[in-house]
Amino acid sequence: MDQRHIIDLTGKTALITGGSRGLGREIALAYAAAGADIIVASRKIQNCEVLANEIEAMGRKALPIAAHIGHWEECDRLIDEAYGQFSKIDILVNNAGKSPVYNKLSDISERLYDTVLDLNLKGPFRLSSVIGERMAAGCGGAIINISSFAAIRPRAHFITYAAAKAGMNAMTEAMAEALGPKVRVNCIMPGPFLTDVSKAWDMKAFSKRADDLIALKRAGNPEEIVGAALYLASEHASFTTASIIRVDGGSR
Ligand SMILES: NC(=O)c1ccc[n+]([C@@H]2O[C@H](COP(=O)([O-])OP(=O)(O)OC[C@H]3O[C@@H](n4cnc5c(N)ncnc54)[C@H](OP(=O)(O)O)[C@@H]3O)[C@@H](O)[C@H]2O)c1
């Protein structure tokens, strides 16, 4: 095979938020397999340490950091700790996110509203701003936001989440302009994936919906996020920025 077509992240350092489980974990393992060193951040340090050990066993460097991405000052501490150990960050994946359930609109307290917007939008904004400017002042880099199909098909049971992810889509395009030409900023917009979040789904109802509304008639397996994440992090995406890539099985 022509070696130029192989994705090689040797010498790169990637920071992945929410890298301890689900889609973030698959991305972290794929980047490490492609040669990158990994900084993995989530709230629970033990989960980050488990992944860091796996990555070190692959011969890569790994740094686990506990941080709540919804808090501005924790994002700043995460950045300081990351640059304390690595001279540069080449790839930032803003993956940590979630969508809490609620029964009716008036159950959404100010605190819950803020929690959803802070984790899914404010934290990624802060990390992209500070790390992105450092990338732009240095060797450049790639920022990959993980939003959601909910951003373009908002539904009643995830209003604040959909708004935050739509904001992330908008932020992707604006950050690409702000940080170009040395930094590329792109977004992956996943549809339904079988991670821990799917444990709460009514699978019978989901299967019926998938039959009607998903071209591939199923949810994604976590490793199916990897192709897009590898592409966007790599030199193969050198002319791709401000893009939003759907990885959703053809959801409608
Ligand atoms: N799975 C889907 O169907 C789906 C669909 C569309 C979009 N997405 C998006 O894809 C991304 C990954 O989802 P997933 O399904 O892989 O989720 P997941 O399996 O629930 O994993 C979430 C990850 O984020 C971390 N996390 C949660 N809250 C955090 C916080 N406040 N600060 C820092 N880290 C935090 C978790 O670790 P800790 O618990 O240790 O903090 C975990 O590592 C999310 O942005 C989600 O919105 C998922």
Task: Please give the mean pLDDT across all residues of the chain.
Answer: 97
Could you tell me if the CB of 18 is within 6 A of ligand 1? yes
Q: Atom 36 in ligand 1: which residue has the minimum CA distance?
A: 18
Band of the pLDDT at 94, cuts 50, 70, 90?
Answer: very high
| Closest CA relative to residue 42, chosen from 24, 60, 62 | 24
How far is CA 26 from its chain centroid? 11
Q: Residue 117: how many CA atoms within 13 Å on its side-chain side?
A: 11
Q: Atom 30 in ligand 1: which residue has the minimum CA distance?
A: 68
Q: Point out the ligand 1 atom lying closest to the alpha carbon of residue 23.
A: 16
Could you tell me if the CB of 193 is within 6 A of ligand 1? yes
Band of the pLDDT at 59, cuts 50, 70, 90?
Answer: very high
Reduced to 3 states (helix: H, G, I; strand: E, B; else coil), residue 135 is: helix
| Closest CA relative to residue 41, chosen from 29, 33, 49 | 49
Could you tell me if the CB of 192 is within 6 A of ligand 1? yes
Q: Atom 7 in ligand 1: which residue has the minimum CA distance?
A: 148
DSSP letter, residue 242: S
Domains of the chain: 3-247 (3.40.50.720)
Q: How far is the CA of 97 from the centre of ligand 1 (A)?
A: 4
pLDDT recorded at residue 241: 99
Reply yes or no on whether the pLDDT at 131 is more than 90.
yes
pLDDT recorded at residue 1: 64
Q: Rounded to an integer, what distance in angstroms lies between the CA atom of residue 60 and that of residue 223?
A: 20
207: enclosing H helix or E strand: helix 203-213
Q: What is the pLDDT of residues 141-150, one digit of tens each?
A: 999 999 999 9
Q: Atom 46 in ligand 1: which residue has the minimum CA distance?
A: 97
Mean pLDDT value of segment 83-87: 98
Mean pLDDT value of segment 153-157: 95
Could you tell me if the CB of 22 is within 6 A of ligand 1? yes
Mean pLDDT value of segment 181-207: 97
Q: Rounded to an integer, what distance in angstroms lies between the CA atom of residue 32 and that of residue 54?
A: 10
pLDDT recorded at residue 24: 98
Q: Point out the ligand 1 atom lying closest to the alpha carbon of residue 150.
A: 6
Mean pLDDT value of segment 169-181: 98
Structure tokens belonging to residue 250: 């053809």
pLDDT recorded at residue 226: 98
Reply yes or no on whether the pLDDT at 167 is more than 90.
yes
Percent of the chain scored above 70 by pLDDT?
100
Q: How far is the CA of 98 from the centre of ligand 1 (A)?
A: 5
Q: Which residues are catalytic?
A: 161
Band of the pLDDT at 130, cuts 50, 70, 90?
Answer: very high
Torsion of CA 194, 169, 231, 183, to 10 degrees: -140
Reply yes or no on whether the pLDDT at 108 is more than 80.
yes
Could you tell me if the CB of 70 is within 6 A of ligand 1? yes
Peptide bond into 181 cis (omega under 30): yes
Structure tokens belonging to residue 173: 């395009």
Q: Rounded to an integer, what distance in angstroms lies between the CA atom of residue 97 and that of residue 41?
A: 12
